[in-house]
Copies of this chain bind each other. A is one copy, B any other.
């Protein structure tokens, strides 16, 4: 039997493992965290730092191929292993560093929000003044779910960010500044690219974030067909330019006004900018478990195992809404009260991730609802989520601004 080694043992790895098992292969997990869900669930999991070469070698020995479910991996150790990693470590190293990622977008001629680099606190303040306010500062490394991001409205605020970053990063100081986008919508698009370079593009997802963390995903996205085609075409070109074999999720900003300093041709009055890339299953892609004929996990499993990937088509005519369950809904309890699940006919999936410890904004699970239109799918998701919390669900948010 083929054995696939998975780096990272969270919810994405767990659901990927289910898809790999369904194709008759086995999995082994490696994660720095010994209590990670897939380490605790599946046999043969190993825990250790990314820098422990002996451990990594023992982990990789029985595996035929490696893949990863997270980007915050030190690649030096992996480089020394004699085994295929899918997607490649080159791809991973580009996307795990915001500056490298932005430079790639620029060199590939892909539409993105104009940015400027800074390599020291003084540099940041001087160039920021030049760049103009308001602006967003993003560290090159270690950013996800809003970590490593600050918004500065003026020089005073930028000065504070520079001080903070000097403390946090010291000599590894490296960050990007970019203009604030007046957001119309955020969308993402997953591309599956196989070893033979054939490409399949998933439908476009509409995403809403709260406190920088994905709150819900809706598919199909509420955008015009021309905008959807543009988004899908850019996602496809990005995966090809990056040379990804595996999955690539591209996150986009859509805006009615051009971002300061950025070139872009609007389509149906909408400017489309690539925001960031993730060469792995994505939390916005959970919705594919129910919405499309093939899930993102199925697609990656097939690529890793060398099986062909058919076109992922949307199932039925309705809308699907995935809502994240953050630690907040657990409200300090160790188990969720499932009694509220009684009569939600729109509920297609509830998936709890088996994390041992809750934290306020930690992703603990998700639900997927299906309804005939977008409003009903969103309302159903909120009702289901509301029935699982002990505190009432907050009313729907105003239209998103820059996160």
Chain A residues within CB distance 8 Å of chain B: 1-2, 18, 21-24, 26, 40-43, 45, 293, 302, 305-308, 310-311, 313, 315-316, 334-336, 338-339, 341-345, 347-352, 354, 365
Contact = CB atoms under 8 A, between A and B. Distances in A.
Given A23-B350, A347-B293, A352-B23, A339 B308 contact: yes
Closest 3 CB pairs of A and B: A24-B352, A307-B338, A308-B342
A319 to B, nearest CB: 14
Nearest to A21: B354
Given A343-B310, A345-B313, A351 B43 contact: no
Given A308-B341, A341-B307, A22 B352 contact: yes
Residue with the highest number of chain B CB atoms closer than 10 Å, among A26, A40, A41: A41
A1 B352 CA distance: 12
Nearest to A336: B24
A316 to B, nearest CB: 5
Contact of A334 (B1, B307, B365): B1
B43 A338 contact: no
B311 A345 contact: yes
A374 B181 CA distance: 51
A24 B354 contact: yes
B42 A339 contact: no
B24 A344 contact: no
A311 B306 CA distance: 39
A149 B359 CA distance: 57
Given A339-B307, A339-B308, A24 B302 contact: no
A350 B316 contact: no
Nearest to A318: B316
B302 A22 contact: no
Contacts of A293: 345, 347-348
19 contacts: A1-B334, A2-B335, A21-B354, A22-B349, A22-B350, A22-B352, A24-B336, A24-B352, A40-B43, A41-B42, A41-B43, A293-B345, A305-B338, A308-B338, A308-B339, A310-B342, A310-B345, A311-B345, A316-B316
